Amino acid sequence: MPARSPVTSLGCAFAAVAMLALPTMASPAACDAIQNGFNAVASVPGYRQVVELGRTGERMEGVVIGETVYMRVNDRWTRMRLKAGGRKGMLNQILSLSSITDCREVRSETLPSGLRATVYEYMMTPPRNMPGVPDKPMRNLVWIGIEDGLVHRQVSEDTSLHLAYDRVVPPIP
């Protein structure tokens, strides 16, 4: 497998986090909950994420603390400092290039961590020409914490994203 640059990996990771966008028709309340969940992720002090790409078997890890993004690429951690507002700006740009439809609440579920979450389903058309992300609309499921309103898991046809908000520390100095 060819080496992936930190910038490409960062873009793919943000695209995975952005697998939802603005509210649409099916259930405005469900779409609002999804959008609010991802906006909350962009606003927390930090989080850890693991993205698994089913087609390639590739696994990407990331840690985001403020405007610093750490990505594990080819078994090596890299650090990228963003400009003030850069983290939210990147997410907003990806979301503005995406569209979702058919949002609906599916069920409530307890995650392995013990956290109660509401599971939502939606269809999403991701940004075009994003490396590693297909251009066709995809069915997605997202788990949003009932008490914290944050996204904890997101799964599409070939991508799985897990987010955690506790014990967030820089993996490298």
The CATH number assigned to the domain holding 57 equals 2.50.20
Give the structural domain span for 150.
6-164
Beta-bridged to residue 47, according to DSSP, are: 64
Residue 169 resides in a domain: no
Residue 71 resides in a domain: yes
**Domains in the chain, number:** 1
Residue 1 resides in a domain: no
Angstrom distance (rounded) from CA 144 to CA 109: 10
Angstrom distance (rounded) from CA 78 to CA 6: 7
Q: What is the pLDDT along the chain (173 residues), one digit of tens a residue?
A: 455 555 445 554 554 554 433 333 457 899 889 988 988 998 899 999 999 988 788 889 999 999 999 999 888 999 999 999 888 888 788 777 777 778 999 999 999 999 999 999 998 877 777 776 677 888 999 999 999 999 999 998 888 999 999 999 999 98
Beta strand 58-65 with 46-53 is antiparallel
Residue 18 resides in a domain: yes
State the pTM of this model.
Answer: 0.79
